[in-house]
Amino acid sequence: MEVVSSVRTPLVTGAKTLGDVTQDICVRVEAKPPKTWFLAISVSLSLLAIGTYTLFFTVWDGIGVWGLNKTVGWAWDITNFVWWVGIGHAGTLISAILLLFRQKWRMSINRAAEAMTIFAVICAAFFPLVHMGRLWLGFYWVFPLPNTFGSLWVNFNSPLLWDVFAISTYFTVSLVFWYIGLIPDFATIRDRAKNKVSAAIYGALSFGWIGSAKDWSRFESVSLILAGLATPLVLSVHTIVSFDFATSVIPGWHTTIFPPYFVAGAVFSGFAMVLTLLLITRKVYKLEDYITIQHIEYMNIIIIVTGSIVGIAYLTELFMAWYSGVPAEQYAFLNRATGPYWWAYATMMTCNVVTPQLFWFKKIRTSLWATFVLSIVVNIGMWFERFVIIVTSLHRDYLPSSWAMFYPTFYDIGDYLFTFGFFFTAFFLFAKFFPVINMAEVKSIIKSTSSSDKALK
């Protein structure tokens, strides 16, 4: 008879002590970054430079430089907006929902996921702002300014305005949540600082944290309150983004399945991006003892679940188009699968429905290389999902005389590269100057994981 051990696999390996955690994480901030870090940030800065060039001419000449036409008025810009908002969902889910459920495996990955959320939301906000055209002439019209300003209030019936409030609220709560969690670690780096400049900078960032019982009590109370506030935002933000489409009458958009479908897809793509970044960070900073195979496996399981939900949503859309009996709706989905953009639809179905099912195999689920490749494949598929929803629903609508194809220009692509350059540059700078692992939370599980580690030995 086989005896199954009741001892769980440790979340922190290597028999680490509290001092080891402080040393291992702080030395990444204090020491000169490795050569691989300089190589990575050089690539991201190159993308940022190319994107800055195209962005300048986009603002200078107007969005006519994009590939938009009279039929396809939304294309890469809104596709990228929805994609980046989705990327930012995993950070809040890991930080808030898993905190409320007391899931200890989140503690090594939440800091990087939260940072990813901040940077992704900034990238998302970039596209609607540029789509407005001359920002300095009217970006403030989206805010509810009083009539004394000389204008009427904005249209609160518009889902585009709901986006403004939802995303700004999401960004604010996520930023505060992320920064509050950093304060104890900033204080640790402050106390270890070897020069006055570092001590002054991290001292200001730590807000006078001394680690007293009162400090910790208030820290935990605020964390729980922010987690409670952030949890409904995980559901509400991408639900409201989906209303940009679901409240219209365009075939392929006007459907009630969009809110839960978009939320599941956002978590799906967000976890994939977290895996991509964490695997790079794990290798570059040698954090194998803190970001373990077990963490990777748990995140892959979530990808299986959310990917399956997305696949069911695709099939439900096809069924409802057929069951509706509406010719325009039926043609919209037939056109997606067999029309000029069939290759985009095929890519979406392959990347989002087929490839995540490979994670059912434990060997693939626990393979670092397989996880890295599949995480990138998932995000490619999720980008194509947004492209298929937006472009193929617009380029052939009710009037055949208005049908047109969309072709991206150099400026479409360049502006997208700008956000990639910004995102990865910001993340690499964060990984260098901020503690990428939450030391305070990891230390709280060291005792149990260390004893488990010894028991296994």
Taking only Cα atoms into account, the Rg of the chain, rounded to an integer number of angstroms, comes to 23
Q: Model confidence over 275-322: pLDDT tens digits? A: 999 898 888 888 888 888 988 999 999 999 999 999 999 999 999 999
Q: What whole-number percentage of the chain has pLDDT above 70?
A: 93
pLDDT at 152: 61
Return the structure tokens found at 210.
């001394």
Q: Whole-angstrom Cα distance, residue 358 to residue 303?
A: 11
Please determine, for residue 12, whether its predicted confidence score (pLDDT) is greater than 90. Answer: no
How long, in residues, is the chain?
457
Please determine, for residue 237, whether its predicted confidence score (pLDDT) is greater than 80. Answer: yes
Where in the chain are the domains? Answer: 18-134+156-456
Q: Model confidence over 116-149: pLDDT tens digits? A: 999 999 999 999 888 887 777 767 777 766 666 5
pLDDT at 46: 94
Please determine, for residue 6, whether its predicted confidence score (pLDDT) is greater than 50. Answer: no
pLDDT at 148: 61
What is the three-state SS of 130-151?
HHCCCHHHHHHHHCCCCHHHCC
Q: Model confidence over 178-197: pLDDT tens digits? A: 999 899 989 999 988 888 88
Q: Whole-angstrom Cα distance, residue 314 to residue 318?
A: 6
83-87, 152-156, 215-219, 355-359: which range is least confident on average? 152-156
Closest by Cα among 174, 164, 39 to 119 = 174
Contact 60, 97 (CB under 8 A): no
94-98, 171-175, 369-373: which range is least confident on average? 94-98
pLDDT at 84: 94
| Mean pLDDT, residues 137-164 | 73
Q: pLDDT grade, residue 10 (50/70/90)?
A: confident
Q: Whole-angstrom Cα distance, residue 434 to residue 427?
A: 10
Q: Model confidence over 385-398: pLDDT tens digits? A: 999 999 999 998 88
82-96, 139-153, 261-275: which range is least confident on average? 139-153
pLDDT at 343: 95
Please determine, for residue 437, whether its predicted confidence score (pLDDT) is greater than 90. Answer: no
CA 181 from centroid of its chain's CA atoms = 18
pLDDT at 82: 92
Q: Whole-angstrom Cα distance, residue 371 to residue 271?
A: 11
pLDDT at 362: 92
Return the structure tokens found at 335.
């056109």
Q: Whole-angstrom Cα distance, residue 381 to residue 377?
A: 6
Contact 419, 51 (CB under 8 A): yes
Q: Whole-angstrom Cα distance, residue 429 to residue 412?
A: 26
Q: Model confidence over 332-358: pLDDT tens digits? A: 999 999 999 999 999 999 999 999 999
Q: pLDDT grade, residue 99 (50/70/90)?
A: confident
Q: Whole-angstrom Cα distance, residue 187 to residue 26?
A: 11
| Mean pLDDT, residues 15-21 | 82
CB neighbour class for 419 (10 Å; exposed up to 12, middle 13-18, buried from 19): buried
Please determine, for residue 453, whether its predicted confidence score (pLDDT) is greater than 70. Answer: no
Predicted structure pTM score: 0.90
pLDDT at 100: 78
Q: CA-CA distances (angstroms) from residue 260 to 85, 186, 240, 319, 355?
A: 15, 38, 11, 17, 21
C-alpha angle with apex 270: 378 to 239, nearest 5 degrees?
110
Q: pLDDT grade, residue 211 (50/70/90)?
A: confident
At a CB cut-off of 8 Å and minimum separation 6, what does 247 contact? 159, 254
pLDDT at 447: 64
118-122, 155-159, 225-229, 321-325: which range is least confident on average? 155-159
CATH code, residues 18-134+156-456: 1.20.1630.10
| Mean pLDDT, residues 266-273 | 91
363 residue type, one letter: K
| Mean pLDDT, residues 399-409 | 90
206: left (phi over 0), alpha (psi -120 to 50) or beta: alpha
